[in-house]
Amino acid sequence: MPQDPAPVARTPDALQRRWIGVAVALFLLAQLLLPLRYYLSPPTSDERFAWRMFSSVRMRDCTARLYETIERDGKTIEEPVPPATLAHWRDLLDGNRPEVVEAVMRSFRRRPGVRAVRFELKCRGVDGRELPTEGWVMESADGSPRRVEGRSP
């Protein structure tokens, strides 16, 4: 009694090959375009999707601080937000992730009695020297932060 021959794998037809080629081309295009967004957009320190994953921007040592402008006893004062309040956001704020910084600022700005929120980022380069302080202020709970010259209180 003759045995059945082993099944032969069916090769894709022309339409299937075309769709496979299109899928591969789209994947490769995405791999090229996502990192280009970093180079073609306004200056940023967020290099998560850039080709330069070991650049000096990524290796900076940064410390973020948040300040609230509040009214107390008829006086407007600016005071630092206690670091413990920001503990679970610390790494993302120190990494200067724009979306996170804006969301945290907006969250604090919406608190009762808060008139403005200021974010300050102090960094040291890989060579240890202090870099210029970066800062943003949000005065309106619905607005976007505006860049300001960094300063220490």
Classify burial at 105, counting beta carbons within 10 Å of its beta carbon; exposed 0-12, middle 13-18, buried 19 or more.
buried
Model confidence pTM above 0.95:
no
Residue 80 has a pLDDT of 93
Q: Are 73 and 106 in contact (CB under 8 A)?
A: no
* Per-residue confidence band for 26, with pLDDT thresholds at 50, 70 and 90: very high
What token pair was written down for 144?
């976007």
pLDDT digits (tens, 9 = 90+) for 75-115: 899 999 998 888 888 887 877 778 888 889 999 999 998 99
Q: Are 146 and 137 in contact (CB under 8 A)?
A: yes
Q: Are 90 and 65 in contact (CB under 8 A)?
A: no
Residue 152 has a pLDDT of 44
pLDDT digits (tens, 9 = 90+) for 107-152: 999 999 899 999 998 988 888 899 888 898 998 877 788 888 655 4
**What's the rounded Cα separation, in Å, for the pair 124 and 94?**
12
